[in-house]
């Protein structure tokens, strides 16, 4: 059985991400959700907030662990003794980015495979940026994220208003 890594920004995690996490956790021995520390990206939540929130959302999944990483994903995989990358695949629009990333990672380390889980139909329109956009304008994101994430988004935008 495999030790797998599901990498991403998760800013914030959507129901689509959670669906991939649940499904992937049933296919592998151990699943690490790897949150990218991306200093170039202007993220809404800090890496620490995202890691803590993902821990809360996945606390019932006993083979799932949340970590953050910086630098190359293949180096992180090496450190973690993991050999399988999990990514969700929503629509044709994901193809170009995902194939480029998978081929780059394969080029960097041919022992690491990327496996795609196709997103459920109902989540194929979803992305963290769509969630942020709708939430920022006070729209209803209950179909898009976990109820705890709805609260987190409300608190974050309230705090930003005060600043
Ligand atoms: O959720 P995202 O933003 O689509 O995730 C992208 C992520 C984090 C998987 C990707 O940017 C990544 O792996 N970055 C680490 C740097 C790296 O290894 N780059 C080489 C592969 S393109």
| pTM confidence score | 0.96
Q: Does 15 qualify as catalytic in the annotation?
A: no
Mean pLDDT by 10 residues, the chain (163 residues): 92 97 97 90 92 98 98 97 96 92 98 96 94 95 98 93 74
Half-sphere exposure (Cβ direction) of 106: Cα atoms closer than 13 Å: 9
Residue 128, classed as helix, strand or coil, is: helix
pLDDT digits (tens, 9 = 90+) for 12-36: 999 999 999 999 999 999 999 999 9
**Parallel/antiparallel/unpaired status of strands 84-89 and 64-69:** unpaired
Distance 63 CA to ligand 1 centre (A): 23
Model confidence pLDDT, tens digit, residues 49-65: 999 999 999 999 999 99
Atom number in ligand 1 closest to CA 36: 8
**75 Cα–ligand 1 center, Å:** 12
Q: Is the CB of 102 under 6 A from ligand 1?
A: no
Give yes or no for a contact between 126 and 15, defined as CB atoms under 8 angstroms apart: yes
């Amino acid at each position: 059985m495999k030790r797998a890594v599901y990498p991403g920004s998760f800013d914030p995690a959507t129901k689509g991400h959670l669906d991939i996490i649940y499904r992937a956790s049933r296919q592998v021995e151990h699943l690490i959700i790897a949150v990218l520390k991306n200093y170039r990206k202007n993220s809404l939540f800090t890496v620490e907030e995202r890691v803590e929130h993902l821990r809360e959302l996945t606390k019932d999944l006993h083979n799932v662990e949340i970590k953050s990483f910086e630098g190359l994903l293949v180096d992180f995989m090496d450190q973690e003794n993991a050999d399988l990358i999990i990514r969700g695949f929503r629509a044709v629009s994901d193809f170009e980015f995902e194939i480029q990333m998978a081929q780059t990672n394969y080029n960097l380390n041919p022992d690491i495979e990327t496996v795609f889980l196709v997103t459920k139909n109902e989540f194929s329109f979803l992305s963290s940026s769509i969630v942020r956009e709708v939430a920022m304008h006070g729209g209803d994101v209950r179909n898009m994220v976990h109820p705890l994430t709805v609260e987190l988004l409300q608190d974050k935008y309230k705090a930003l208003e005060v600043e």
